[in-house]
Structure 1
């Protein structure tokens, strides 16, 4: 009875918020833009797992493993690594479509505007765009670029600042010329923005965004409080479409790797391990549970309680990659980004697991990470066993943490699934 009341309170509080946000044209375009990129993201994720299969490098020779990865690399390089481009194009397309404009030109102008703002030098070589800027790292800038460019394009079209072609000109040609002035004006504005930032100390808009986000983080050190802050920030950034791990890891990785090496030296010497928080603490007991946010628990829950066709399909698609800690299909397919119904468990679960893991190790119930670098695609249970120096307690802790995450997510996923299921029934009834 109490559980029923709790679910009702959550529904009464969250569903009205979700309805308002779902009716927002920008969030709708954002969601649909990710859906455009989803098949490519899934394809790339699958080949990331295949190319980085755990311990394959120890089974075959170094040259054979390098050739194997080189052969499969283009699959993810042409999809997952530049996923930002597809999302940006999808957002521009969908937002322009909402305004009943020429959607294909909205997508094209969004993509071109983003490329204008993107750095085009790499190690002093001009005319080269860093691949990282086209992927998740550039997504935050890309989302807002797509919104603004689509709005500017719409504004100029509505002002009727277009070239009118005479009757008899093929429709495709006429549409192309009618979009020339709106696209030209929109891209000129973005070129001016690039020029302005070029004369600032930041150099580019992307550098500006990452500088104002990263610099406040440099004051943070190690230990449980700083780790909780780091984990929470990773989740917050991801919720808003910004690759949290790229940002946070760039600040914390030097600290975490140094602590990891201290533990490895102590483990090899047979002395007491000095640190709990290490790189492997993060990789095996947080990220190594299905990816950022430990979404393997979400996939299991979908199979256990899911009724909606959408969630069941996402679960089936995300499960193979999720086992190897690749969770883009869940992040972009559920979706988690900008989805108010999952914000609470998305933020809460990793923090709770961080605290549980820390105290399990500080009290001696579970050995501290031994400093062994376990491949990030190693499935849970096995990764916990290896990370703690082949200790069974590490595997048990991962199972326990997985159950905790499932319990935290259960009521929220139930509401999300019910929401999708009811919508699917309504759509089916209209057919």
Structure 2
């Protein structure tokens, strides 16, 4: 075990440190965080617009009018979420260089729109909303990175208009950004032209065909998901925030898959994907936090005899209900505790497999693409994430039971150690 621990520490920690401090992955992560409030807003109204049995209560015509009234909430947020992510990435990356971050955000957006086809069914001057969402996500991310770097390059070269000292700050900054922005967007205009003379015709088609589609297929599979889950667990075992590290790589894929499901759900079509952002966040992380530690808390109350575990359960339960599990991570502890390494790694993998096949076989509806706030308690989050389906809540209950079964012998041993230690301490005092 010691050799295994030393191997993991020697291999994982350097990788995690590099990923955690990578400027581009940090900007990518923070860019999604900028978009998150808007995404959640749109998701809430998708849930409200699809209350079960409402069409039977108010009639088909009234239900259609009701959905049309609420439709703009998701159309203005979820359907074009790529735009918010692009602005966020450009803003955060430019900010990391100590430059005027707002210009990094807007130049990223403008560069993306230059590369975006503006024709829909032979009508020019129209941008399809599909390319502003999941379909254009990867192009948007690449564009945001490149445009921010080009903007930084031109600013650092000093290619800017210098205004007199008496000019107001806002005006001076605007003119200072004029030349760097002009040069940056000119580069993207040239890129658009170069793609127009190829068989791909647009950068959008090129990125989607060569990069996004293959990565999305890979990320939607069970093996890649299991690998991602294992890395999340391993990083947390060493005290590193596994979600931040792993999600920085997988979020673009999971969000794209999520958006495909949302579009299908809103159109009444069959949902195409099992693995999505909400598959991870609701049926794995969203059950007490990473490692589904709400099940551990329940188990503590069920079998715990030691005062240490009982007090930890009381401390961790209120936060665990809302998927905050730092008290358990660092109080049990889970970090660097070889005794619980096996259940910590095995339980999420088993739950991932059970959840995947429950959905792929049609026993439980697939995630509907609705972004459920991560603090939503289990059972309710499963119900909402599957489009108001009770089977989603039932699957979460089953998953919690699975985790409890896997953890039971290991927690029993830990509790026995704590209990005997406490008894020995009491005997010594007496």
Kept in 1: contact 2:90–2:108 (CA 8 A) = yes
TM-score, length-scaled by structure 2? 0.61
1:35 — aligned with what? 33
What is the correspondence of 1:30-429 to structure 2 with a 5 Å cutoff?
30-213=28-211, 228=222, 239-242=250-253, 243-245=255-257, 291-293=278-280, 295-302=282-289, 304=294, 316=322, 348=349, 352-353=353-354, 357=358, 369=362, 380=382, 399-401=397-399, 403-404=401-402
Q: Offset at 1:154?
A: 0.7
- Rounded to whole Å, the distance in 1 between the matches of 2:166 and 2:384 is 68
1:271 — aligned with what? none
- Rounded to whole Å, the distance in 2 between the matches of 1:375 and 1:75 is 17
Aligned residue for 2:160, secondary structure, equals coil
Aligned residue for 2:74, secondary structure, equals helix
Q: Offset at 1:113?
A: 0.5
Kept in 1: contact 2:91–2:103 (CA 8 A) = yes
Q: Offset at 1:294?
A: 6.0
Change (3 A) 1:153 1:8: same
Q: Offset at 1:102?
A: 1.3
Change (3 A) 1:88 1:233: farther
Q: Offset at 1:280?
A: 7.7
- Rounded to whole Å, the distance in 2 between the matches of 1:282 and 1:198 is 32
Q: Offset at 1:128?
A: 0.9
Q: Offset at 1:247?
A: 9.6
The answer for unaligned runs of 5 or more in structure 1 is: 221-225, 258-278, 319-343, 362-367, 410-431
- Rounded to whole Å, the distance in 2 between the matches of 1:346 and 1:155 is 48
- Rounded to whole Å, the distance in 2 between the matches of 1:246 and 1:26 is 23
- Rounded to whole Å, the distance in 2 between the matches of 1:317 and 1:73 is 30
Aligned residue for 1:81, secondary structure, equals coil
Greater Cα radius of gyration, structure 1 or 2: 2
Aligned residues: 331
Kept in 2: contact 1:381–1:399 (CA 8 A) = no
- Rounded to whole Å, the distance in 2 between the matches of 1:346 and 1:83 is 33
- Rounded to whole Å, the distance in 2 between the matches of 1:301 and 1:204 is 44
- Rounded to whole Å, the distance in 2 between the matches of 1:50 and 1:113 is 35
- Rounded to whole Å, the distance in 2 between the matches of 1:179 and 1:407 is 60
Kept in 2: contact 1:93–1:106 (CA 8 A) = yes
Change (3 A) 1:143 1:124: same
Kept in 2: contact 1:231–1:350 (CA 8 A) = no
- Rounded to whole Å, the distance in 1 between the matches of 2:362 and 2:75 is 32
Aligned residue for 1:137, secondary structure, equals coil
Aligned residue for 2:166, secondary structure, equals coil
Residue deviations 1:300-339 (CA, integer Å, cap 9, x gap) = 22273799xxxx9998599xxxxxxxxxxxxxxxxxxxxx
- Rounded to whole Å, the distance in 2 between the matches of 1:350 and 1:190 is 45
- Rounded to whole Å, the distance in 2 between the matches of 1:149 and 1:314 is 41
TM-score, length-scaled by structure 1? 0.61
Aligned residue for 2:192, secondary structure, equals helix
Kept in 1: contact 2:27–2:92 (CA 8 A) = yes
Change (3 A) 1:219 1:357: closer
Root-mean-square deviation (CA, aligned residues, Å) is: 5.1
- Rounded to whole Å, the distance in 1 between the matches of 2:394 and 2:97 is 53
Change (3 A) 1:217 1:82: closer
Q: Offset at 1:137?
A: 2.6
